[in-house]
Structure 1
């Protein structure tokens, strides 16, 4: 009898272990310049919008790395892999003479703990 109960308990734990991530929405976020880089080629400004406060600087640094590696395209979705979460968002690149502004708009945040947050604008 103990073996049967243990087997049922074990099977049920495996059955529920691969659940889909919990999806939450948020309508607030941090907006602003996160990183300014100056070089002989010009100035690059990384700004984030609708950002989660705890990961905004990490994600901005990763966006800058992607920009330097020419892996960003204007008005395209990109997924940035951070230390605490992976963030999917839209990247807008604006150039004016020697100034480049890279704007990253958060759309979804996939936290490492399994929670998924989706930005939803309030009208």
Structure 2
């Protein structure tokens, strides 16, 4: 009898011991121009949409660095690794004459603390 109770207790501990990262949705992120860079050939504006306030500038700078390294393509999904979180989003690039506008739309933020936030459009 003790073996059965011990086995049930042990199996229940194994079943519930795996930690699932909580997934939350958010509807109100920050939108705006984060970075304006001027070079001899062009002016680059990096804008973020649905961004989390604490990491928006860092992610915008990393997006600009990808652009200057010619590793950024139009209408493609990217995951940017930051100091506090990994951000997944869609990147859209607009070009007109010497102006380049890069728009990055946050879709998912995976914080290193384990929390995962997914952007959900507010309909209200």
Partner of 1:89: 89
Shift of 1:64: 0.6
Shift of 1:81: 0.4
Shift of 1:69: 1.3
Scaled by the length of structure 1, the TM-score of the pair is 0.86
Shift of 1:20: 2.4
**Whole-angstrom CA distance in 1 between matches of 2:111 and 2:78:** 16
State the aligned residue count: 115
Partner of 1:31: 31
1:48 aligns with 2:37: no
Deviates more, 1:70-79 or 1:85-94: 70-79
**Whole-angstrom CA distance in 1 between matches of 2:120 and 2:71:** 27
**Whole-angstrom CA distance in 2 between matches of 1:37 and 1:120:** 30
- Residue 103 of structure 1 aligns to a residue whose secondary structure is strand
RMSD: 1.9
1:98 aligns with 2:98: yes
**Whole-angstrom CA distance in 2 between matches of 1:20 and 1:95:** 42
Shift of 1:30: 0.4
* Cα distance per residue 1:22-61 (max 9 Å; x no partner): 1000000000000000010110000000000000001001
Gaps of 5+ in 1: none
Structure 1 runs of 4+ off > 4 angstroms? none
Shift of 1:21: 1.3
- Residue 74 of structure 1 aligns to a residue whose secondary structure is coil
Partner of 2:70: 70
**Whole-angstrom CA distance in 2 between matches of 1:38 and 1:122:** 35
**Whole-angstrom CA distance in 2 between matches of 1:21 and 1:76:** 26
* Cα distance per residue 1:87-122 (max 9 Å; x no partner): 000000000000000000000000010000000001
